[in-house]
Structure 1
Amino acid sequence: MDDANLRPVAAVPMTEVLASSYIGWPAVIAGALVGTAIFVTLTAFGSAIGLAITSPYLGQGLSAKATVIAITIWTLWVVVSSYIASGYIAGRMRHMTPDVSIHESEIRDGAHGLIAWALTTLLVGMIVSTALSGIVREAQSKTPEQTDHSLYMADALLRGERLETPYNEGLRREVAAILQSGVYNGAVTASDRDYLVRLVTDRGLTPVDAQKRVDYAITDVRDTANAKRKVGILAAFLSAAASAIGAAAAWWAATIGGQHRKDYAGVSIFTRWR
């Protein structure tokens, strides 16, 4: 064929080839998997440290305040570190898109970091929910005496001065229900309180001592429930705050990873031993 009859074929611009897929899913998935693995590893490591520095015995190990502070700092560190790794890999491994401005490229890198953050959050949520479901099943398999504080306080109320003063299970659960009603309704009604005082008086205590024991039980059950509520609020707030900080960290790390990709920045100090 004569070369004169050959016609040049117009090249398809690279931007048109890549326009149908702005999101590099392989990079996003890789970043999410690495971030999740780091989260699981650091969480297990932190659990081991926590068991080592705390003690089930009163007065030993870290105080409750120090334990809360340590858990908060470690949780933030684990979450932010995981999201930084996730975002950096998503930004670094994303395919370069030619013919776009530096600002647009940075936005796309950051968007990949956010997508990796979202996927990491879903994976971590699945792992945590699975672990929590196992804990709940374990708690449900235990007897009520091991899980319900109001039942313990009911036993404390009905404990007589003499060992030969038994009480039945129905009465025990009735007392526990009255104590719980003080938590749900804000206070134990006067009639219920008087009833509890009569029950305790029948166990061999004086009316004054019976009133003191009843007041202590009501206050203790209410304070325990309030403490659990505060722990739940703190845990929910900490999770939300850590996730929000993690989103910003993932965006930032992805832009850094994208800049390193464009500059062909090496990490030979970490990957070469010769």
Structure 2
Amino acid sequence: MGEFEDTRRHAIVEDPPSVEAFASAVSWGAILAGGVAAAAFSLILLMLGSGLGLAAISPWAPAGESAARFGVAAIVWICVTQIFASGLGGYLAGRLRKRWVAVHGDETYFRDTAHGFLSWASATLVTAIFVTSAASGLFHVTAQVASVSATGGAMGTLKDRGNASAALDAWPMGYLVDGLFRQSDSAAANSNATPDVTAADKKEVVRIFLNSLASGAPLSSSDARYAARLVSQRTGSSLDAAQTRVIATYSQLQQRFADLKAAAKDAADKARKAGIHVSLWLFVSLLMGAFAASLTATIGGRQRDF
């Protein structure tokens, strides 16, 4: 009888550590299950948030007010999405993991926390892969459209600055050159006195303007006189009046390009600040998600054991 008690005591004391030594401390099945559930639930919440956000935006509200309200609501919803989705994934990872035998309470708490964190990490990586691949093309196209719009379409690129046809069809060059060759009322009444304006005449003046705009220098006197002769021949105005019109038109063009450049810089600065705010709040939301997943995993693990 005494020999049996010794054997039983030996089994109680020695067997659990030997079993624990061969058992894995990580339940990857539970971790992946929690990660998949968190990724799917976050997708559901993001779709719901998108619908609610579009429903809350009014096209009649001021643009600045609507954008600010939408930005605050988006930040709050992203944080809420991270907390709920990561919390669900962490809880499932803790509740579905294997039962650990003869493990100290502190070790169990650490393992459950680690399972929750790993489920959050797996869901975050999967979501990041899909979101990055889908958003990279959208960001590229958006950046191109914003750049072209802010700098005046075809006039905004160096390639098109040497193309008179493209520049003539772009704003503000086309409008200002058309106004440069606009005839006075007296000349228009006597249309036989002046030859018609041709596209070649306009393109020649455009090339003169583009050559000076490329260097940012004022219009040279020789270019101004030559362009004035073309304008005088086609509009019937005096040479001095035509030269004054040419110089005034070029000054307006310089001012328009300066305004477009300032607007492009302002848009780039606003985009930079928006990117900073988005990155910081995404960082905060991810920390919230990691904490929620780790906390709920300990709750799920405790319910699993008891």
AA of the residue aligned to 2:262 = T
Provide the rounded CA distance (Å) in 2 between the counterparts of 1:247 and 1:128: 19
AA of the residue aligned to 1:59 = P
Q: CA deviation at 1:54?
A: 2.3
- Match for residue 25 of structure 1? 28
1:1-274 map, 5 Å: 13-19=15-21, 20-55=23-58, 59=62, 63-136=66-139, 147-152=148-153, 154=156, 155-158=170-173, 160-161=175-176, 163=178, 192=216, 202=246, 205=249, 207=251, 212-263=255-306
Indicate if the aligned counterparts of 1:54 and 1:61 stay in contact, CA closer than 8 A. Answer: no
AA of the residue aligned to 1:158 = M
Indicate if the aligned counterparts of 1:114 and 1:251 stay in contact, CA closer than 8 A. Answer: yes
Q: Size of the alignment, in residue pairs?
A: 236
Structure holding more helix per residue: 2
Deviations 1:211-259 (A, max 9, x none): 6534422321110111111122222222222112211111111111112
Provide the rounded CA distance (Å) in 2 between the counterparts of 1:137 and 1:33: 29
Provide the rounded CA distance (Å) in 2 between the counterparts of 1:23 and 1:136: 39
Aligned in 2, Cα 1:137/1:211: closer, same or farther, shift over 3 Å?
closer
Aligned in 2, Cα 1:156/1:90: closer, same or farther, shift over 3 Å?
same
Name stretches of at least 5 consecutive residues in structure 2 with no aligned partner: 1-7, 157-169, 181-201, 225-244
Indicate if the aligned counterparts of 1:114 and 1:250 stay in contact, CA closer than 8 A. Answer: yes
Q: TM-score, normalised by structure 1?
A: 0.70
Aligned in 2, Cα 1:147/1:70: closer, same or farther, shift over 3 Å?
farther
Provide the rounded CA distance (Å) in 1 between the counterparts of 2:39 and 2:90: 12
Percent identity of paired positions between Structure 1 and Structure 2: 27
Provide the rounded CA distance (Å) in 2 between the counterparts of 1:147 and 1:47: 28
Larger-Rg structure: 2
AA of the residue aligned to 1:95 = K
Aligned in 2, Cα 1:22/1:34: closer, same or farther, shift over 3 Å?
same
Provide the rounded CA distance (Å) in 2 between the counterparts of 1:148 and 1:104: 59
3-state secondary structure, aligned to 1:13:
helix
AA of the residue aligned to 2:274 = V
Indicate if the aligned counterparts of 1:32 and 1:116 stay in contact, CA closer than 8 A. Answer: yes
Provide the rounded CA distance (Å) in 1 between the counterparts of 2:259 and 2:123: 47
3-state secondary structure, aligned to 1:247:
helix
What RMSD in Å do the two structures reach over aligned CA positions? 3.8
Provide the rounded CA distance (Å) in 2 between the counterparts of 1:229 and 1:262: 50
